[in-house]
DNA sequence: TCTAAATTTTAGTCTTGTCTAATTTTATTT
DNA sequence: AAATAAAATTAGACAAGACTAAAATTTAGA
């Protein structure tokens, strides 16, 4: 089994691999992990010795198949617990992250499997991210950023890219929630702000908002 | 907040205080924690510096009020999670301990409170042990060991003293479960074995069994 | 009471994961 | 292509928590 710290590194590398296809840089990982580059180098070496990552000095790091599987397992647990907290324990979607960060490290195959069943094998977490199944498979979302829609286009809000407390609370305050229908009424070329209609309400949103909302188009 | 290790020590001292009223000995604690006496001494010093225990060299250790409160909080979480695992996730009562040992260290007041509510504020865990409420209060059980009953006396099986997998599986195999009614039919002076009637079935149990079953008498 | 045994503590070491400061390698710029 | 900047690594240190071996203290026995 892996330590909490190892699991957190694997998870971070997994998330950063989207942006760093040719290997995640030490500094990027240090930033993500809120730690120093030297600590990252140390840990990468350990993960490399355990064959969880592929690493060449100064060349960045990638997950091996084993590392990817381990990362996905942690992400599966994280997202299942988030569903549990929201659906069963009445947490708001901006309150679940910190607790799920702890719960994701609990080691028990039976626990994960039974939790999944208890929740009804959910496909998405409260932020719209896909939940890997027990074999590590998950649907790569067929979704685009709201900012990519043209005037007149419509869709359903299906996820958030930024899941910080601040952003989620902004969304709550403006009655933007997953499942809502969206239509782009106007776009401002100057600052990319948008006038949208969401579940009937019309509101103006900045580029920072529209680049952090995922939409499923018809 | 306290580390996992600190919490485990506090919990162990709490449990051992029943048997060691004048201070828990270093060796007893080492045995309970499955570690070495020297490690125990090291940790006791740390806990003592944090005023969680009262310690005088060579004189054993007791919990301070703060230490006791911390221990009870961990025990509360452990037992709530055990209820969750059995009631909601279909774990058997012999499977919950190891997972609850991990879950008890999750730090979130809201999580504990909401879990308690979700479970309907249970009073007892699956082994019949009392669950402290959010203020740390719990009912000291009004119960005796089955071995203390005399011939002809009756009661309800309300808890187990030993909650090892082996003992619990023995009980399952012999259809002994909490809530069952018990009547002592015969006692053998030589080895303290007993013939009992439990929910209609008659069976013979050894002293090792009867000294590990708690009974509530009418 | 004095000694032997048992218990407990101390001293020094190890591992994990982190840090700072210094050095090395790679990337960029002129 | 050399000089400089940026990024990454190494070296050495530290804290937590554990260990072994040795020393100190308490307890028990003769």
Nearest to B90 among A99, A108, A114 (CB): A114
Q: What digits encode the pLDDT tens for the residues A91-116?
A: 999 999 999 999 999 999 999 999 99
Is residue B130 a part of any domain in this protein? no
B103 touches chain A (CB under 8 A): yes
A22 domain-assigned: yes
CATH number of the domain within which B192 lies: 2.30.30.90
**Domain end residue (candidates: A63, A88, A110):** A63
Q: B175 lies in a domain?
A: yes
Q: Would the Cβ of A49 be found within 7 angstroms of any atom in strand C?
A: no
pLDDT at A120: 98
Which tens digit of pLDDT belongs to each residue from B169-190?
999 999 999 999 999 999 999 9
* B89, B101, B165: best to mutate for the A interface, most A CBs within 10 A: B89
Domain that holds residue B59: 4-63
Residue with tokens 């074999």: A135
Spatial distance from the CA of A67 to the C1' of D11 (Å)? 29
| B48 inside domain | yes
pLDDT of residue A124: 97
Count up the domains in chain A and report the number. Answer: 2
Q: Is A118–B89 a contact, with Cβ atoms under 8 angstroms apart?
A: yes
> What pTM was estimated for this model as a whole?
0.95
- Structure tokens that stand for B210 in this block: 């009867």
Digit-coded pLDDT (tens) for A147-160: 999 999 999 999 99
Residue A50 falls within a domain, yes or no?
yes
Domain final position from B63, B80, B111 = B63
Given the DSSP bridges, would you call strands A61-63 and A194-198 parallel, antiparallel or unpaired? unpaired
pLDDT of residue A140: 81
| CA pseudo-torsion sign A155, A157, A162, A168 | positive
B109: contact with A, CB 8 A cutoff: no
User: Within 7 A of a protein CB, which nucleotides of strand D?
Assistant: 7-12, 16-22, 25-26
Instruction: Judge: B106–A99 Cβ closer than 8 Å, yes or no.
Output: yes
Q: Does B98 touch chain A (CB under 8 A)?
A: yes
Is the residue at B122 inside a domain? no
Is B108 within 8 Å of A88 when comparing Cβ atoms? no
CA closest to A103 among chain B residues: B106
* Residue reference for tokens 């690493």: A55
Q: At what angle do helices B26-33 and B4-16 cross, to 10 degrees?
A: 120
- Kindly report each contact of residues A114-123 with a partner whose C-beta sits within 8 Å and lies 24 or more positions away, as own/partner: A114/B89, A114/B90, A114/B91, A115/A80, A115/A81, A115/A84, A115/B89, A116/A80, A118/A84, A118/B88, A118/B89, A119/A80, A119/A83, A119/A84, A119/A87, A119/A88, A122/A80, A122/A83
By Cβ distance, the residue of A98, A106, A118 closest to B103 is A106
**Average pLDDT rounded to a whole number, residues B142-153:** 95
| CATH at A51 | 1.10.10.10
Per-residue pLDDT of chain A (218 residues; tens, 9 = 90+): 899 999 999 999 999 999 998 999 999 999 999 999 999 999 999 999 999 999 999 999 999 999 999 999 999 999 999 999 999 999 999 999 999 999 999 999 999 999 999 999 999 999 999 999 999 999 987 899 999 999 999 999 999 999 999 999 999 999 999 999 999 999 999 999 999 999 989 999 999 999 999 999 98
Rounded to the nearest angstrom, the minimum Cα separation between A133 and chain B is: 18
Q: Which of B88, B89, B102 sits opposite A106 (nearest CB)?
A: B102
DSSP string, A123-186: SB-TTSPBPP-TTS--PPP--EEGGGPPTT-EEEEEEES---HHHHHHHHHTT--TT-EEEEEE
* Residue A121 Cα, gap to closest chain B Cα (Å): 13
Whether residue A103 and residue B98 make contact (CB cut-off 8 A), yes or no, is no
Give the span between the Cα atoms of A107 and A120, in whole angstroms: 21
Q: Is B40 within the bounds of a domain?
A: yes
> CA–C1' span, A58 to C29, in Å?
21
Choosing from A63, A88, A114, the residue where a domain stops is: A63
A111 shares contact with chain B (CB less than 8 Å):
yes
Q: Is residue A69 part of a domain?
A: no
């Amino acid at each position: 089994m892996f330590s909490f710290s190892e699991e957190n590194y694997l998870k971070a590398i997994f998330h950063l691999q989207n942006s760093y296809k040719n290997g995640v840089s030490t500094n990027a990982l240090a930033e993500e992990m809120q730690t120093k580059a030297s600590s990252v180098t140390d840990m990468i070496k350990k993960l490399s010795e355990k064959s969880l990552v592929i690493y060449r000095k100064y060349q960045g790091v990638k997950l091996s198949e084993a590392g990817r599987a381990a990362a996905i397992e942690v992400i599966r647990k994280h997202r299942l617990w988030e569903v549990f907290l929201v659906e069963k324990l009445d947490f708001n979607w901006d309150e679940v992250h910190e607790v799920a960060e702890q719960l994701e490290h609990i080691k028990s195959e039976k626990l994960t499997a039974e939790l999944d069943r208890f929740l009804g094998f959910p496909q998405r977490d409260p932020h719209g991210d896909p939940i890997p199944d027990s074999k590590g498979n998950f649907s790569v979302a067929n979704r685009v950023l709201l900012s990519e829609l043209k005037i007149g286009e419509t869709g359903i809000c299906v996820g958030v890219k930024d899941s910080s407390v601040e952003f989620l609370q902004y969304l709550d305050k403006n009655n933007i929630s997953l499942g809502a229908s969206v239509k782009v009424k106007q776009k401002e070329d100057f600052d990319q702000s948008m006038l949208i209609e969401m579940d009937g309400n019309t509101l103006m949103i900045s580029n920072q908002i529209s680049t952090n909302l995922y939409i499923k188009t018809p």
